Structure 1
Amino acid sequence: EEAVSRDKLPRHWMADFFTAHVTLEAQDNTHAIERYEALLARWPRSPYVQSQLALAKYNLREFDEAQTIFEGLLSADPYRLDHIDTYSNILFVKEQKRALSTLAHTCVSIDKYRPEACCVIGNYFSLKGAHEKAVLYFRRALKLDAHFLSAWTLMGHEFVELKNTAAAVDAYRHAVEINPKDYRAWYGLGQTYEILQMSYYALFYYRKATALRPYDARMWCAMAGCYKQLGRTQEAIQCYTRAVKNDDSEGVALQELAKLYKEEGNKLQAAHYYSEMLKQREDMSGPETQDALLFLANFHKSSGQLAEAQHYCSRLLDLGGPEKEAAKALLRDISSTRQQCSQHGTSASASHHPTSAAASEL
């Protein structure tokens, strides 16, 4: 975008289309949305502008908004198959099997020899768990267009599911050769080498993906996982911290930071991240939640914050599980500690007021 601003483009509406396209290609999706929304105000019925806006929102994982735009495009022009594979990706992620099935039938009835249609069918079979059939249709898409980027990347995902790591690496490498800015292929290569327990290779490819998507928490979490496997705790902590700053909606980074700080013996930071994790997962009741509650109960008890410790113990009792007995024992300790404190307080007040004690004896 800086290079575009340095070049003196003519003041023409086509220059606006060019800068918007460059911004989207550079994965600067937030600014791309702003530019395409401005273009949409001038060309409200343009399918191209609407589809590019949907792509930008898809890149930011704003799936609901992107889906709404794609559905509007389909209703306006039912025979339009441009970027229909991206729409099928959204339905796949949201696990809308019926909608994906309907879309696949529609694509076949319009033009079954379009690579986009083959990718839609491949996504449908992948969602059903029929990964061999999915690979067949992705191969068919590549026979129709050997440079169809989406098919290479999706086929790589299917080979990962089939545990065929060599074929997955080959597919992802083809995708990277076609478009070196495709972060999904770099990320897929990282995942594949991580499966092969080749952490240094995985780290190299995750770095490539992170350079393309520095605002994506998943990239930072993946890189942190590699550092963790390599025993480089400080680098892992730095990466997980970056993931938290980039809105880690899944809560993986908070949980891992709490564990790493706990292992490092930094109880204060561990307690901070465990409490942040619980705020994010208020309605969840897995083993990670129970571990967090037990740690926080012990931490606040040792810090003398008995009310907070009792609160976390009560939450543990509500959840049940193996930590329930530990919570009961902690509550008994808290109760006895309070009794001791009250007794010490009474004896201390008696020693400070000898005249009142003497008066009571008289």
Structure 2
Amino acid sequence: MALSTGHVASQLRHLIYYHLDNNLVRNALFLAGRLHAYEPRSFEAQYLLSLCHLHNGEVKAAMECSQGSGSRGLHVGSAYVYAQACLDLGKYVDGITALERSKSLWASKNHWNKHSETSRQHLPDAAAVYCLLGKLWQAHKDLHKAVDCYVDSLKLNPFMWDAFLGLCSTGVNVRVPNIYQLSPELLSVISASPDDLDSVPGHFPPAEGPFSSQSTGYPGHPGHPGGDPFMVPAARGEIDSTYGSSALWEKFNGSSVSVASVAAPVIHEGMETPSGQSSSSEEFRIANGVTEPESAWEPPLAPARKNRTIQSMSLDQTGQAPPKMRSTGIRPRPRTRTELDEPPFASADREPPPAPRFGDRKRTVSGQVAHPLPPQPTEPGAPQRRSVRLFNQIKPTTSKLSSSTLTGRDGREVKKVRSAHAKGRPATTSTVGRVVSGNRKPMESSDHDSKEPRATSIPATSGVPPLPRHAERSKELEALNWLLGLFSKLASGHSALSRYRCPEAVQHFNSLSQGQRETPWVLSQLGRAHFEQALYGDAAKYFARVQTMAPSRVEDMEIYSTVLWHLKNDVELAYLAHQLLEADRLSPQAWCAIGNSFSHQRDHDQALKCFKRATMLDPEFAYAFTLQGHEYVANEEYDKALDAYRHGINAENRHYNAWYGLGTVYDKMGKLDFAEQHFRNAATINPTNAVLICCIGLVLEKMDDPKNALLHYERACTLAPHSVLARFRKARVMMKLHDFKFALAELKVLKDMAPDEANVHYLLGKLYKILHDKANAIKHFTTALNLDPKAAPFIKDAMESLDDDEMEDDDIA
């Protein structure tokens, strides 16, 4: 027999996906090499080989393997891997071109809600490709096209979190409730037309609208191009004869049944088809969870059957077991036309007849005599019975439905039926010459030697009403609504934080349930929100909980190191740096923490080395460039600081810290116009940061514009009522504007907020000196001298000039 090329390739693909799913990437890579050698011109083989290289971290090899079919857009998987490699290697235009060329292959695909434990879609759909396109456009600095791609991705799949994060990073105003709602697009994916399912059993029509697929069949179907990669494509006739994917049959039957082995039921000539059975269309509907009103669909009528004689029920010597009944469906069966002539049961709760014994008459399921015979003498009160042994003398008329004699093995079968009588009657195959009714309790099948797999319905629990079809769908919609609500809260919090509306972000995150709130990601977001408000103590508490909960987490830990730097907690900072280095010595966050530790010890040269190491590990890590610029400013190397800040802005245009650093350098260089411009750029990105507003006011104050400076200081005090710096500068400008009464009120509040600040007492002494209150002036000058002995020359000069009425503008730096 000739070797089947398709089956060999299918087995290799099966093995590759098996090893990829079990994270055995090297094994998958080896097998992908064998598949590519076996089918060197196959696009699927090129895709799998490049995919394995990408999973193994070999980005350049992945790009080389997928370039042939991916760069030309001939295979959507290869184009996707090629674009991912281009994103990592900085060849953004090449990746964008590859995805655009393959757009006809993925634009109509949507695999949302089509992945499960038993089925998968191994090729990317439109939502995933749009998300990758958005990343490529954003890296290419075309934010408008990036936003469009992110929006398209979220329209198709609102749970594409990467697309939402990318959308927030562009700085656009996101209306979160419009994204996370039960839209018609989502409903079109999870619902299907009942009419289509009735017309073609086993055929899952593509949904209309933007999610419609160009292929036929259910996505898990063997004939579907994006179906289960583990299944060998079947011929057209085999596809038409099956009911769906193997995953559906496993969910329906509770066991693994091959799709190819489940064929359409064969009806022999003259065989009765029990009307209690579910048709193939109904079985597919149950397996797929398709619901509809009860009156909208009726099971098909049973085919006409021939009159049977008693010979068709006889037992012969062939040794075949009698046919067994199939179990009843979930709900009571509507009566068919053939049953309308039969007498109805008196009651559904009546006691079932006793199990058949040797010598009993053959009866129907309803308990009536199958064929009237001459009366036989029986025991008083006993039901009319006839021994089944009499049937042995009757020659069967057909061999297909003949049953075996009651040999030793069949005797055991009878005992099984007798013992299982209380459990219910079997319902696996059609019965001959019997009246089938849904009011009877189903019997347990004793046919354990059946060779053909039979599709069985889900047994209904006695005494429990059947579950309506719409109940399952309502549960799915309820779960989907809950997930959309959860994502809406998470997205609202992150969106507010990305726009630096920190109190709003904290409110959204605190509205989460305790289980969702006490997770590393949410706690990190809360820590960042408090850090942006300069509430370093609260931020440290959240980050400490993250560190305790997930010691190996490195994301956002560079912010935690800066929080500890501001709190001057050198012990915790050194411990954090050591722990991050142990977790991942190749992460830029670890080297930022080490650099902050050296910076706190005023070892700026070692800190610069650490920050440069972080930028080498990740050239797009903007925060490391900003910290590097701060160290250059501390060393008064302003030119190098400008370069570092500019690299940070190039890595992330919305990194306001780098804009703030540029403004600081220009301020120190005396270029006040440039300083004001860069401070305003930073404040545009982060309009709620009181420090940035104070910096603008300081530059305006230096430019002899105290009135505008006072407006900025008042705004800063409104944004941060506990900011000592904002109130101090506000009081100083009020003194320049000769508004001594309000200045004194501000300084009194400030003295209570920062009683150990020498500058506050020095400014109070100067104000009391202007107000000719020498006693209070000497008191506060003396306090300032005790708090800061290094400023003794300035304080002594002020004390010696108490008799002068001139106002001094000098203060302690």
Whether TM exceeds 0.5 here: the answer is yes
CA separation in 1, counterparts of 2:741 and 2:653?
Answer: 41
Does 1:170 find its partner at 2:634?
Answer: no
Match of 1:209 in 2: 682
Match of 2:593 in 1: 120
Does 1:312 find its partner at 2:785?
Answer: no
CA separation in 2, counterparts of 1:79 and 1:254?
Answer: 41
3-state secondary structure, aligned to 1:81: coil
CA separation in 1, counterparts of 2:647 and 2:757?
Answer: 42
Shift of 1:118: 1.0
Match of 2:527 in 1: 54
Match of 1:190 in 2: 663
Q: 1:294 to 1:152 in 2, by over 3 A?
A: closer
Q: 1:165 to 1:67 in 2, by over 3 A?
A: same
Larger radius of gyration: 2
In structure 1, runs of 5+ residues without a counterpart are 302-308, 331-362
Of 745, 750, 754, the residue aligned with 1:275 is 745
Shift of 1:30: 1.1
Does 1:9 find its partner at 2:473?
Answer: no
CA separation in 1, counterparts of 2:577 and 2:801?
Answer: 53
CA separation in 1, counterparts of 2:575 and 2:543?
Answer: 14
CA contact (8 A) 1:23 1:31 kept: yes
Q: Tell which deviates more after alignment, 288-297 or 100-109.
A: 288-297
Match of 1:153 in 2: 626
One-letter identity of the residue aligned with 2:615: L
CA contact (8 A) 1:217 1:244 kept: yes
Of 679, 682, 700, the residue aligned with 1:227 is 700
One-letter identity of the residue aligned with 1:274: L
Deviations 1:14-62 (CA, angstroms, capped at 9, x unpaired)? 2332222222111111111111122353514422122122221221222
One-letter identity of the residue aligned with 2:776: Y
CA separation in 1, counterparts of 2:598 and 2:175?
Answer: 42
One-letter identity of the residue aligned with 1:279: V
CA separation in 2, counterparts of 1:134 and 1:142?
Answer: 13
How is 1:340-355 mapped onto 2 (pairs within 5 angstroms)? none
One-letter identity of the residue aligned with 2:589: E
CA contact (8 A) 1:186 1:206 kept: yes
CA contact (8 A) 2:731 2:743 kept: yes
One-letter identity of the residue aligned with 2:656: Y
Q: 1:252 to 1:80 in 2, by over 3 A?
A: closer
CA contact (8 A) 1:316 1:327 kept: no
Match of 1:108 in 2: 581
Match of 1:21 in 2: 494
CA contact (8 A) 2:767 2:777 kept: no
Q: 1:191 to 1:107 in 2, by over 3 A?
A: same
CA separation in 1, counterparts of 2:713 and 2:769?
Answer: 24
Shift of 1:162: 1.7
Match of 2:718 in 1: 245
TM-score w.r.t. the length of structure 2 is 0.37
Query: Which has the larger helix fraction?
Result: 1
Q: 1:121 to 1:287 in 2, by over 3 A?
A: closer
Deviations 1:231-282 (CA, angstroms, capped at 9, x unpaired)? 2232222222222333364534444444444444x3xx23321332133124
Q: Give the superposed CA RMSD.
A: 2.8
Q: 1:16 to 1:121 in 2, by over 3 A?
A: same
Match of 2:761 in 1: 289
3-state secondary structure, aligned to 1:208: helix
One-letter identity of the residue aligned with 1:271: K
CA separation in 1, counterparts of 2:760 and 2:542?
Answer: 38
CA separation in 1, counterparts of 2:689 and 2:559?
Answer: 19
Shift of 1:207: 0.7
CA separation in 2, counterparts of 1:121 and 1:318?
Answer: 40
In structure 2, runs of 5+ residues without a counterpart are 1-171, 182-480, 786-794, 806-813
Number of equivalent positions? 319
Deviations 1:273-330 (CA, angstroms, capped at 9, x unpaired)? 133213312434736524433533653x6xxxxxxx4773574586486455666999
CA contact (8 A) 1:32 1:56 kept: yes
One-letter identity of the residue aligned with 1:140: R
CA contact (8 A) 1:36 1:53 kept: yes
CA separation in 1, counterparts of 2:696 and 2:586?
Answer: 39
TM-score w.r.t. the length of structure 1 is 0.78
CA separation in 1, counterparts of 2:700 and 2:781?
Answer: 36
Shift of 1:200: 0.4
One-letter identity of the residue aligned with 2:744: Y
